[in-house]
Amino acid sequence: MGLIKAIESVLVSTPTTEVAVDSDMVWVKKVQAGDVAAFDKLVVKYRERIYSITYNLISNREDAADLTQDTFIKAFTSINKFQGKSAFYTWLYKIAINASLTLQKKNRLRRFFSLDNINQEMAPAEILEALAVKTKTEKETLIKELQEKLNEALQKLSPIHRTVVVLFEIEGLSHQEIADIMNSTAGTVRSRLHYAKQQLQSSLQDYLK
Amino acid sequence: MPDLKTLQKTAITVEDLIQIKRCEAPSPEFWDTFDRELKAKTLQALVRPQPWYSKIRLTPAKMAISLIPAGATAAVVFMLVSVGSSTLSSTTAVAHSMPAKAVVAPVVAQAETPVVQPRINDDVLLAAAGASQFVMDEITTENDASSYRRVMDSETYRTSSRGAVYVADPFTRTAAVPIAAAGLAHF
């Protein structure tokens, strides 16, 4: 009986993501049936996340905006090819990541940062204060400096390692979700993440002392 | 002076630093422009003509698909023709071992509808080949005046290692001569 209750509780508790995925499929099917307006729902739902992924992969907000738009246009024009074998967001993230990495490959000789402002209300105050004490700098200055150093450190990583860090640490995806997006295994994702963090640690050691 | 909480947070990790990246976000006005631009681009994508190379890329596939029924039909026709011709040649070759009396149908009609009959003895055929013409069948009717002999010439068959094989059957009205005609080889 206990086992049955445990299974029931798991079945009841898991579907938060599944419900989201199912609701995506409802909109996707509407778009596939010719309801163009239904695509707006998917845009509104995912635009921040797609922008965040592209922005953190290339550290340039203008390019990130273009890439986000291109991602949605590509998804829209090829939505009939989407058969629902994977979750819609997995498919969308794949498009965004591929587009970002392709653009970065193309522009590898003229890469420059164009960064968004840090929302200080959302920033972890504890960490910033501790860092301000350690580095003996003003909070404002520290934030600007740290933002540049973080972006530099991320850009030093290889595209694969950067993608794993962005998806896990910034977007909060699970190892398995990342593995699905990157066509690899959860174990590979873990090992890439471990390696990437070691690289970041050595790049950002001034703040970690 | 830093408070107790700040002092406790002495060990800063990479994960802590990356948390700051989560706070980088565009202003709310950015999304208004974004939506406008995206709508315009989506409409452009809807009316954009397909590039010329997409047609070329599709053409071989389309051609292959359209050729499938034609190919299948050709294969079936070829199969029927080859099977039909082999049946015809074998039936023609053996068509004349029946006793002459049995053939009572009109001459022309029989030539058009070959009947499967036992194979002719090759030796007999080869013996008859010495003559320029020979009688294959006798077609007799109640009325003797309309009785015919079916006459063949030696060019209507050829010999091979597998025996004598007819290549054509010229049995028409012109190949039929009255029974009264003489000087023909007979078997």
pLDDT digits (tens, 9 = 90+) for B29-63: 899 999 999 988 888 887 766 666 666 666 666 67
Report CB contact under 8 Å: A124, B20: yes
Contact between chains at B25 and A73 (C-beta distance less than 8 A) = no
Per-residue pLDDT of A88-116, as tens digits, reads 999 999 999 999 999 988 887 677 888 88
B70: pLDDT strictly greater than 90: no
Say which range, A1-5, A38-42, A189-193, B150-154, has the weakest mean pLDDT: A1-5
pLDDT of residue B129: 53
DSSP state of B106: -
| Alpha helices by DSSP H, A14-166 | 15-32, 38-58, 61-77, 88-106, 125-135, 139-156, 159-165
Taking CA–CA distances from B37, the nearest residue in chain A reads A69
Determine the distance in angstroms separating the CA of B55 from the nearest CA of chain A, rounded to an integer. 17
pLDDT in tens, A45-94: 999 999 999 999 999 999 999 999 999 999 999 999 998 889 999 999 99
Contacts with B, A 90-129, CB within 8 Å:
115-120, 122-124, 126-129
Is the minimum CB–CB distance between A206 and chain B shorter than 8 Å? no
Share of chain B above pLDDT 90, in %: 8
What residues 29-48 of chain B have any CB closer than 8 A to a CB of chain A?
30-31, 34-35, 37-38, 41-42, 45-46
The residue type at B12: I
As a whole number of Å, the end-to-end CA separation of chain A is 53
- The predicted complex's ipTM stands at 0.81
> Any CB–CB contact under 8 A between B13 and chain A?
yes
User: Chain B contacts of A36, Cβ < 8 Å?
Assistant: 42, 46
Query: Chain A contact for B26, CB < 8 A?
Result: yes
| Tokens describing residue B30 | 């950015």
Helices vs strands, H then E, count in chain A = 11, 0
Return d(Cα A196, Cα A55) in angstroms, integer: 18
**Measured between alpha carbons, how far is A19 from A32 in angstroms, rounded to an integer?**
20
Q: What are phi and psi of B186, to 5 degrees?
A: -135, 145
